[in-house]
Amino acid sequence: MKIQKILLPIIIIIGALAFFSIFIVKEVNQAIVLQFGDPKKIILKPGLNFKIPFIQNVVFLDGRILNLDTPPIEVIASDQKRLIVDAFARFQIIDPLKFYISVGNERVARSRLATIINSRLRNVLGQQELQTLLSKDRSKQMSLIQEGVNVEAKNFGIKIIDVRIKRADLPEANSEAIFRRMQTEREKEAKEFRARGAEMAVTITSTADKDVSVLLANANKDSEIMKGEGDGERNAIFADAFGRDPEFFAFYRAMQAYETALIGGDTSVILSPDSEFFKFFGNIKPKK
C-alpha cells in the first residue's frame, strides 16, 4: 500500500510532464518553440515534437497559401480620372522566425500587407490613364504591383503569390454623371431614329398615294376605253339589227320600254290611248 501511495503521485507527475512536453505539428502548420519569449527552435515538418514543460511554449503559424482582401481605395489616374479599386492578394509565410519577430501574428501581418498593397496600387495605377487601367494592359501593372509588394513583404518573412484587382468602379458621382450623359446620348439617337422613320414613312406614303392615283387613273382610262368600245359594238349590233328588220327592231325597243316603264316601281304615267307609246297594243287581238 505504501508503494502504491508513492507510485501514484509519481505516475501523475510523469503523465503531466509528458502531457505538457509533447506537441504535434500538423501538415498545414509551422511551429516556433519559445523560451520566455525567446525563439529557440523552428519546426517546419509535421510530426510529434517535445518541449520543456512550463518553461517553453509553442506558437503555431499557418503554412498554407492565405487570402487577403484589402479594403477598397480611391485611385486617381494620370488623366485625373477617379477609380474605386478593390484588390485581393494571396501570400504565404516562408520564414516563421522573421515573421514572428517582425509582425508577431497573422492579424498584424494582414494589416501591414493591406497598407503596403494599397500604397503600391496608388503608386503604380496613378501613373497610368484610366483607359489603360480598364484594358488588357492592366495585367502588366499588376505584375509591377506584386513585385513591389514582395520586396517589402520579404522583411516580414512573407512571400506574395499573387495580387489581383477584384473590382474597379467609378465613384458614385462619376457613375451618375456618365449614366446621365449616356442617357442623353441614347435619347438623342432615339429622336434621330424617330425623325428618320417619320421621314421614311412620309416618303413611302407619298409614293404609295402616287402609285394608287396612277393605278386608278389607268384603270379608269382602261374602263372608259372598254366601255366606249362596248357601246360602239352595241350600237353597231343595234344598227345592223335595225338595218335587217326595222319593224322587229322597233318592236324589241318598245318591249324594253314597256318593261322599264310599266313593271314595278311607284311612278305613275298618264298617256293617251292613241299615243305612239301604245302603237303595238292595237294589233293585239283577244283570244276566242
Instruction: Please report the pLDDT score of residue 198 as a whole number.
Output: 86
Q: Supply 124's cell numbers.
A: 503604380
Instruction: Please report the pLDDT score of residue 114 as a whole number.
Output: 93
- Strand 82-93 and strand 66-69: the pairing is antiparallel
Q: Supply 202's cell numbers.
A: 412620309
Q: Which residue ranges of the chain lie beneath pLDDT 50? A: 284-288
Q: Rounded to a whole number, what is the distance in angstroms from the first to the last CA of the chain? A: 174
The angle, 0 to 180 degrees and rounded to 10, between the axes of the packed helices 246-262 and 172-244 is: 130
CB contact at 8 A, 121 and 88: no
Please give the DSSP secondary-structure letter assigned to residue 154: G
Instruction: Please report the pLDDT score of residue 179 as a whole number.
Output: 64
Q: Where are the domains of the chain?
A: 2-62, 66-175, 236-278
Instruction: Please report the pLDDT score of residue 284 as a whole number.
Output: 46
Q: What is the dihedral of CA 204, 207, 212, 217, to 10 degrees?
A: 180
Q: State whether CATH 3.30.479.30 applies to domain 66-175.
A: yes
Distance CA 15, CA 19 (A): 6
Q: What is the CA radius of gyration of the chain?
A: 56
Instruction: Please report the pLDDT score of residue 276 as a whole number.
Output: 63
